[in-house]
Structure 1
Amino acid sequence: MIEVSGIRVPLSKLDGTDSREKVVIRQALARRLHVRQEELGRVTRRKRSIDARKKGDIQLIFTLRAELPGGASAEKALLARLASKREGGGVRVVEAADRDFPLPLAHAPHDQGSIIVVGAGCAGLFCALSLARAGLEPLLVERGDDAARRSRVVRHHDETGELDPESNIQFGVGGAGTFSDGKLQTGTKSPFHRLVLKTFADAGAQQRILWDAKPHIGSDVLPGVVTRIIGMIEEAGGTVRCRCRLVDLDVSGGRVHAVTLRSEDPETGIVTEERMPCSKVVLACGHSARDVFELLVQRGVPMERKTFAMGVRIEHLQADIDRALYGPSAGNPVLGAAPYSLAVHLPSGRSAFSFCMCPGGYVVSAANEPGGVVTNGMSYSDRAGENANSGLLANVFPEDLPGDDVLEGVKLQRACERAAFEAGGGGFVAPAQLVGDFLHGRPSAEGGGVEPTYPRGVSWGDVSRCLPSYITETLRAAIPEMGRKLRGFDRPDAVLTGVETRSSSPVRVTRGDNLQSVGVRGLWPVGEGAGYAGGIMSAAADGLRVAEAVVADAAEELGA
């Protein structure tokens, strides 16, 4: 198979339909290879990105793969012909196969005891799916609800302000990523990325995620996708329990021996507890499972502070972002709603950056504790909302925190969330402020041209009261700099909604080269909550990497 990168197609040649794009890229590939179109077999897109540096001449850049009817001999002849013309750059022969799940072990190790995966976010889902397909029959437990019931619970919270601490935007099948747009781009590299994308596509996500440079699924599509992945796990021999959470961990002699699980029937409210012997526990609890962090401290599991970030959500009109990035081509259906990514490094030594940017999206209520306001962002698959939003964050470093308590970062998050709850006046109403007022250090009394999308409503005031001064000072210095990078970012009536505190975990559950806890054999920390990922793709890839290590460990114990 031939792979060709750097194929440029002018925006003007496309009309937003997939059928037209397929025709155009086949023509472009034939020209690049100096062959007739009929000499090409099946052509597939491997990557598609947008080059908008010249707003009057926006181009799409493709990496394509093509099968040649003549097979390996035809590929070799084509490469030689291109080399003779000195036009072989960006053309190579590749293997068609991508990384796949591990092969099943010869027999399942029933005598070893249960393998339990705690948490059904992306790390837990992909880890459990991989373990199930290897024949290890894992038990996946999730403290929140299945995706369908969870969606109803989230809507109920948005409408009434009533919060279910066990099932919300943070907890439930799919984890926090289910209600945060489903962005699949990542700055990390992993051989598992293609497998993650393919699994999502097989589970019902749009096929375009397989080639878009900035793929996303959408928070309207994700509940169905993660439900189908649950079905894949069960079909492969795994078991899934919702409304079931880890409440204790039996650790002695430097290894895991059992877990205690507490289950609740959502219909009757009946609660039961069960102590379950096990030899392996994959801890994929997510960054908001603060009770789990407290349990780990009590049981002597090694943990450490890590850098995390806090700030606010910033909202602009999406049409303004489109014009700033795409110029006269703004609104073209090929381009869709424009995303941005900004970072500023300040003379103070601190930095601010955008996070989880949601084109055509909405600010959401992401609380999971009574008395604390937490914001996040999401987009639907069509990204057709009037506003753009992103996290506007600054780092909190371990040295910013007092004392030596490993959970000091959690205490800071909670204090900021409670301050935001009080500033909003209760009911999970969020404090909000206009950018112009924030920059001048004055409270806002009313909104402007950008209507806030936070579902519980906002209370205008001063969001800086809810955050440490080093965060607000960093954001005040950064916003004008970001406005110079992206026209209109610092517009005075853009909206800041507080607070965003859950972009990443403030702790890391320390693990060794074998991916197990450095102090507890049989405990495998994984994903965002354990401090080893920062988004859907990196969490899923980390789950697969840990699953591969668990399978190898099980095979070694079996003498396979």
Structure 2
Amino acid sequence: MSVRVSNITMSIDEDIEGLKKRAAKKARISINEIKDFKILKESIDARKKDSIKFNYTVEMFCENEDKLVARANDKDVSIEEEYNEELKLGTKKMNHRPVIIGMGPAGMFAGLFMAQKGYRPLIIERGERVEDRTKSIEKFWSTGELNLESNVQFGEGGAGTFSDGKLTTRIKDIRCDFVLRELVNAGAPKEILYSGKPHVGTDILKIVVKNIRNKIIELGGEIRFNSKLESLIVKDKAISAIIVNGEEIPCDNLILAIGHSSRDTYEMLYKSGVFMEAKAFSIGVRVEHSQAMINESQYGKYAEHPRLKAADYRLTYNTKEKRGVYSFCMCPGGEVVAAASEEKMLVTNGMSHYKRDKENANSAIVVTVGDKDFEGTSPLKGMEFQRHYERLAYLVGGGEYKAPVQLVGDFLQDRVSTKLGNIKPSYKPGYEFKELKDCLPSYVTESLKEGFVNFDRKIRGFANNDAIVTGIETRTSAPVRILRNEKLKSISIEGLYPAGEGAGFAGGIVSAAVDGLKVAENIMQDYKPLY
């Protein structure tokens, strides 16, 4: 048990060393009464550009904490109950070790937790280990030569490894703390434990992923890379084995953490009778601005202050036709990257390193699409919708995974750009000046135009002529949801546990990791460890 003190406000120029004193004052105690102290949350309040402040929540360990809280008589001073992470393990005997498909956040954290508890999981990953995956991706970006099994979407760490490593999440789940602590244990910066907008960055995340892999192996787990799930063997409506690279592997507890881009796996699962349904998602473009402009817009005169990092933004708008337009996966000081996973299809993503120190800020600006926009009745119709527009983008870009690019001013006026302004596109392997409307649905193009005009009122210069739009962004979330019951099992096949973003139950690194933990817990509550 400890004391939580919230809403401690400090000016941007106050020394952080004074935080403990401020917390003691708010709790009405002497600073000497605090035995231990740590920051739980730090956030920036930049609503008033001439008076930027930091807001803190801290945890203190003292004597007579109940009496202390009663004496303080302040809603911001409360008792923080300890969470008991011990899980009551089941008693049933496993016939075979649990198998996890995918080494993204959901599969990785399910595997780590199960390994910590003695279940010796087998993790199957179609892509390469992160060191080799990095080489394959860099080769693609420099030459346009795509590795279909190991790319920005597939491989150790999942799609988030080659993004920004953002750890923000809207879910309120105590398991988030476990995820952040394990990331720190594996080499992530300690500030992610309290930062209001934590991020790791691709450069550090690659190290973290490798360390978690080694920990799983050290604890008795096994990880097979370059290994693809090809089919399920189902007997009496229950999973009995899987086929991986032609090998039959006995299995009665299978966690599917396949990620949102495993389209061939979705097709195999659908043919195998796994019940799923089409799900809404969003598509659009990547926009690039000068990071200096975004900093000035968000921080005003404090834009160059040493305590402030590269600024981000979050923008939303509802069009006249009631479609949502919003920023997604905003990457301060980053770059736009090629993120294709199928031949002759083009899709972009955003990426930044821990320091976020490149010249451009980029973000997806996307529009919601759903069932009414997809053709046919198949649960995979949203996936085919993605494929259609990714093929168009590839053709419009002229092939070789070059991206169609347009200045925002030209995009708004329906004209092909002929030269760059002050912003240089960061996308590799290259780009061509084309009209983005030629590879997007007309209702998406018109919604984006409305959105840009609205966002320019919120961030002056957002619709500046020189800003760059690059097409296209389609992988905002899974196009399907694999239905499951209250025990998180597939409703159609016993022993099959859909998990994470690829199953339609998460939307980012932390929420996917948490969903993987939940699925692992459900198996562990039924079965005893293997050691």
Same fold (TM over 0.5): yes
Residue 313 in 1 paired to residue 313 in 2?
A: no
Residue 78 in 1 paired to residue 68 in 2?
A: yes
For residue 29 of structure 1, what is the amino acid of its counterpart? A
Aligned to 1:43: 37
For residue 155 of structure 1, what is the amino acid of its counterpart? E
Aligned to 1:465: 438
Aligned to 2:414: 441
**Alpha-carbon displacement from aligned partner over 1:426-475 (angstroms, at most 9, x marks no partner):** 22111111111111111212221111111212111101111111211111
Q: Work out the CA distance in 2 between the residues paired with 1:305 and 1:290.
A: 13
For residue 134 of structure 1, what is the amino acid of its counterpart? K
Cα shift at 1:103: 6.1
Q: Work out the CA distance in 1 between the residues paired with 2:162 and 2:279.
A: 25
Q: How does 1:358-369 map to 2 (within 5 A)?
A: 358-369=331-342
For residue 175 of structure 2, what is the amino acid of its counterpart? F
Cα shift at 1:545: 0.6
State the aligned residue count: 529
Contact 1:118 1:141 in 2 (8 A): yes
**Alpha-carbon displacement from aligned partner over 1:141-193 (angstroms, at most 9, x marks no partner):** 10001111111111111111111111111111100000111000012222211
Percent identity between the two aligned chains = 42
Residue 487 in 1 paired to residue 472 in 2?
A: no
Residue 100 in 1 paired to residue 85 in 2?
A: yes
Cα shift at 1:105: 5.9
Cα shift at 1:41: 1.8
**Alpha-carbon displacement from aligned partner over 1:65-107 (angstroms, at most 9, x marks no partner):** 1112xx2x2x233223322xxxx22001213x4463746667x
For residue 5 of structure 1, what is the amino acid of its counterpart? S
Contact 1:505 1:529 in 2 (8 A): yes
Aligned to 1:265: none
Cα shift at 1:119: 0.3
Q: Work out the CA distance in 2 between the residues paired with 1:98 and 1:387.
A: 42
Paired residue secondary structure (1:26): helix
Aligned to 2:354: 381
For residue 132 of structure 2, what is the amino acid of its counterpart? R
Aligned to 1:269: none
Residue 342 in 1 paired to residue 309 in 2?
A: no
Aligned to 2:381: 408
Q: Work out the CA distance in 2 between the residues paired with 1:79 and 1:280.
A: 47
Paired residue secondary structure (1:80): helix
Cα shift at 1:2: 1.1
Contact 2:110 2:519 in 1 (8 A): yes
Q: Work out the CA distance in 1 between the residues paired with 2:393 and 2:376.
A: 24
Aligned to 1:9: 10
Label 1:149 to 1:100 Cα distance change in 2 as closer, same or farther (>3 A): farther
Aligned to 1:255: 238
Aligned to 2:115: 132
Cα shift at 1:553: 2.7
Q: How does 1:215-294 map to 2 (within 5 A)?
A: 215-262=198-245, 273-294=246-267
Aligned to 1:116: 99
Q: Work out the CA distance in 1 between the residues paired with 2:384 and 2:80.
A: 50
Contact 1:102 1:134 in 2 (8 A): no
Contact 2:89 2:527 in 1 (8 A): no
Uncovered stretches (5+) of structure 2, i.e. residues with no partner: none
Q: Work out the CA distance in 2 between the residues paired with 1:483 and 1:45.
A: 36
Contact 1:99 1:191 in 2 (8 A): no
Paired residue secondary structure (1:279): coil
Residue 53 in 1 paired to residue 44 in 2?
A: no
My pick for the range that moved more, 415-424 or 337-346, is: 415-424
Paired residue secondary structure (2:99): strand
Aligned to 2:344: 371
Q: Work out the CA distance in 1 between the residues paired with 2:341 and 2:512.
A: 21
Residue 89 in 1 paired to residue 75 in 2?
A: yes
My pick for the range that moved more, 208-217 or 23-32, is: 23-32
**Alpha-carbon displacement from aligned partner over 1:357-398 (angstroms, at most 9, x marks no partner):** 001111111111111111000110001111110111001111
Q: Work out the CA distance in 2 between the residues paired with 1:94 and 1:276.
A: 46
For residue 69 of structure 2, what is the amino acid of its counterpart? L
Residue 183 in 1 paired to residue 177 in 2?
A: no
Q: Work out the CA distance in 2 between the residues paired with 1:247 and 1:445.
A: 47
Q: Work out the CA distance in 1 between the residues paired with 2:143 and 2:68.
A: 65
For residue 190 of structure 1, what is the amino acid of its counterpart? D
Contact 1:249 1:256 in 2 (8 A): yes
Label 1:470 to 1:349 Cα distance change in 2 as closer, same or farther (>3 A): same
Aligned to 2:427: 454
Aligned to 1:398: 371
Paired residue secondary structure (1:7): strand
Contact 2:34 2:61 in 1 (8 A): yes
Label 1:227 to 1:100 Cα distance change in 2 as closer, same or farther (>3 A): farther
Contact 1:102 1:133 in 2 (8 A): no
Cα shift at 1:37: 2.2
Q: Work out the CA distance in 2 between the residues paired with 1:222 and 1:148.
A: 12
Paired residue secondary structure (1:222): helix
Q: How does 1:545-556 map to 2 (within 5 A)?
A: 545-555=518-528
Q: Work out the CA distance in 2 between the residues paired with 1:76 and 1:186.
A: 31
Q: Work out the CA distance in 2 between the residues paired with 1:99 and 1:429.
A: 52
Residue 67 in 1 paired to residue 61 in 2?
A: yes
Cα shift at 1:326: 0.6
Cα shift at 1:526: 0.4
Residue 476 in 1 paired to residue 476 in 2?
A: no
Q: Work out the CA distance in 2 between the residues paired with 1:297 and 1:435.
A: 40
Q: Work out the CA distance in 1 between the residues paired with 2:169 and 2:460.
A: 25
My pick for the range that moved more, 129-138 or 344-353, is: 129-138
Aligned to 2:297: 324
Q: Work out the CA distance in 2 between the residues paired with 1:413 and 1:80.
A: 57
Residue 520 in 1 paired to residue 493 in 2?
A: yes
Q: Higher relative contact order by CA 8 Å / sep ≥ 6: 1 or 2?
A: 2
Q: Work out the CA distance in 2 between the residues paired with 1:257 and 1:207.
A: 42
Cα shift at 1:349: 1.0
Contact 1:104 1:133 in 2 (8 A): no
Contact 2:27 2:69 in 1 (8 A): no
Cα shift at 1:51: 0.5
Contact 1:142 1:243 in 2 (8 A): yes
Q: Work out the CA distance in 2 between the residues paired with 1:117 and 1:93.
A: 39
Label 1:471 to 1:44 Cα distance change in 2 as closer, same or farther (>3 A): same
Contact 1:432 1:459 in 2 (8 A): yes
Paired residue secondary structure (2:228): strand
TM-score, normalised with respect to structure 2:
0.97
**Alpha-carbon displacement from aligned partner over 1:328-356 (angstroms, at most 9, x marks no partner):** 00021212101100110122111100000
Paired residue secondary structure (1:508): strand
Contact 1:2 1:67 in 2 (8 A): yes
Q: Work out the CA distance in 2 between the residues paired with 1:101 and 1:143.
A: 32
Q: Work out the CA distance in 2 between the residues paired with 1:234 and 1:398.
A: 42
Q: Work out the CA distance in 2 between the residues paired with 1:162 and 1:385.
A: 25
